[in-house]
Structure 1
Amino acid sequence: MTADQLVVLAIIQGLTEFLPVSSSGHLNLLHLLTTYPDEGPAIDVAIHVGSLVAVMAYFWRDMLYLIGGLRDLVLFRATSARRLILLLILASVPLAIVGFVMIETGLVDAVRSLEVIAWTTIVFALVLWACDALGSRAKIFSDIGISDAVWVGLAQCIALIPGVSRSGITMSAARALGFERTEAARFSMVLAIPAILATGAGTALTMSGDQAAIIAGDALVAAALSAVAAFASIWFMMALLKRTSMMPFVLYRLAMGVVLLWVLYR
């Protein structure tokens, strides 16, 4: 892999993983619109690990709370932290099931096309706008209930289609359920942790030891670049959402979708 491809991949993944603009859509577009070869499983794992490090670093207080919840889960202690862990697990189960079915049936590859990305980018921009505009501002992160976990978890499954955006659809669902804007983003990003862990673990299982060893240096660079870019994007989004609505992301998605349709149908 060339140095420029490594840098571009890592930065795109880092910047778009947590913004409601679809990281998978951007990465698929990179391959569809350029001559870059597939990056391979090791680099894919590395850039996701970088994103994971960033979200855990930004929400370090939540991470300490969740670690306490895992301890309470093991020790059978009934605490609010254990309850949150169980709710995050509940919200992650639908994604694991649907993801497995899509991989086994080949649907995960069938939906990877420029046309799909273009239309989902536009359609789910409108979904994001509607949910943000109509959603109330009552709930905070600690108010998550069973129904919230189920609905956001089901919404997360739609993000298996490139262009939808995992963060975008989970933020949309959280806003529709009444979560305050920054709290919806917080819910979405903490929920990303098990999703990224599952993605990374699943990809890592497809690698041989020799594959990982050959590009270990590239993987470390990719992880570091992705972590820095992801941390910057999280900081930017949280700062922006304290001051305004989701409209900047909606407009970006609409513009991107229109350009893609022009490229596709010209």
Structure 2
Amino acid sequence: MDWLQVVVLSVVQGLTEFLPISSSAHLILVPVLTGWTDQGLVFDVAMHLGSLLAVVFYFRHDLRRMSVSWVISLRGGTTGQDGIDRDARLAWWVLLATIPVCAVGFAFHDVIEVSMRSPILIGVSLIGFGLLLGYADWHKSEGRSEYQLTFRDAMLIGLAQVLALIPGTSRSGITITAALLLGMSREGAARFSFLLSIPVTALAAGLEIVGLVQMPRDIDWSAMAAGVVLSGVSAYLCIHYFIAFIKRIGMQPFVVYRIVLGLWLLWIFW
């Protein structure tokens, strides 16, 4: 890999990981459109690690409270008037909502990697799920925060997250869509989606690391370090400005982008 490829892929990963426009679609398309060789598993690990560090650092205070309250709830302690406070409850909802995508991802990993990376499928997914995001945002109510989710809400969002295994869907896009349809606010939907990304990204990176251990190879440590830093910085800035942006403007610019990109892909590859 040359340094231009390192920079482009890292920034693309960092920005698109948390925007509702599908990071997997963009990382598949960049080599297709540029003629670059596949970046390989090692660099994928670096980029995912950078994104994971970014979201953990951004929500570090929330995660600290959630972790403490969750441990207390495991021990049978009471941290609120109803026996469990809102931080412990949110931690439980994040963990439970992660189960469906992990189960399906483990079961169908090879099928997804081999058979579902077509630019045509990506284009259709970008358009279809983009229109659904637009509908959810257009018909949103005033909405609840992430702390007002119920068990039913968390599981429905978790089931929706399974659709993100289809390239072009966008994990953040489909979880935000489901949350909006369930009556959450834009900010609450985005924050819960970002918290959901932590266990999913950690597990995905863990699987990739297992693959590296099983098949040792030469590692370009300078490219790895650059991938972590560049994807992490761009992901952190993306989270910060995305939440502020959608509070004022909403999801419609991302819907338009998805539709235009999807139509362009269908025109090029059909």
Query: What's the TM-score, normalizing by structure 2?
Result: 0.92
1:119 equivalent to 2:120? Answer no
Contact 1:131 1:175 in 2 (8 A): yes
Work out the CA distance in 1 between the residues paired with 2:184 and 2:249.
15
Contact 1:93 1:153 in 2 (8 A): yes
Contact 1:108 1:160 in 2 (8 A): no
1:186 equivalent to 2:169? Answer no
Deviations 1:149-204 (A, max 9, x none): 10000000000000000000000000000001111100100110001001000111
Describe how 1:70-85 pairs up with structure 2 within 5 A.
70-78=70-78, 79-80=84-85, 81-85=87-91
Partner of 1:2: 2
Work out the CA distance in 2 between the residues paired with 1:190 and 1:215.
31
Contact 2:42 2:219 in 1 (8 A): no
**Which amino acid is 1:234 matched to?**
I
- 1:22 shift after superposition: 0.2
Partner of 2:166: 161
Contact 2:90 2:146 in 1 (8 A): no
Work out the CA distance in 2 between the residues paired with 1:46 and 1:164.
23
Partner of 2:59: 59
Partner of 1:96: 102
1:87 equivalent to 2:102? Answer no
Work out the CA distance in 2 between the residues paired with 1:165 and 1:96.
16
Runs of 4+ in 1 over 4 A off after TM superposition: 209-213
The 3 A distance-change label for structure 1 pair 39 and 140 is same
3-state DSSP of counterpart to 1:136: coil
Deviations 1:21-65 (A, max 9, x none): 000000011122222222222211111111111112222221222
The 3 A distance-change label for structure 1 pair 212 and 19 is farther
Contact 1:10 1:47 in 2 (8 A): yes
- 1:147 shift after superposition: 0.5
Work out the CA distance in 1 between the residues paired with 2:239 and 2:112.
31
**Percent identical:** 38
- 1:72 shift after superposition: 2.2
**Which amino acid is 1:18 matched to?**
F
Aligned length: 264
Deviations 1:80-132 (A, max 9, x none): 2332222111100000111012115x233211110000110001110000111
1:152 equivalent to 2:174? Answer no
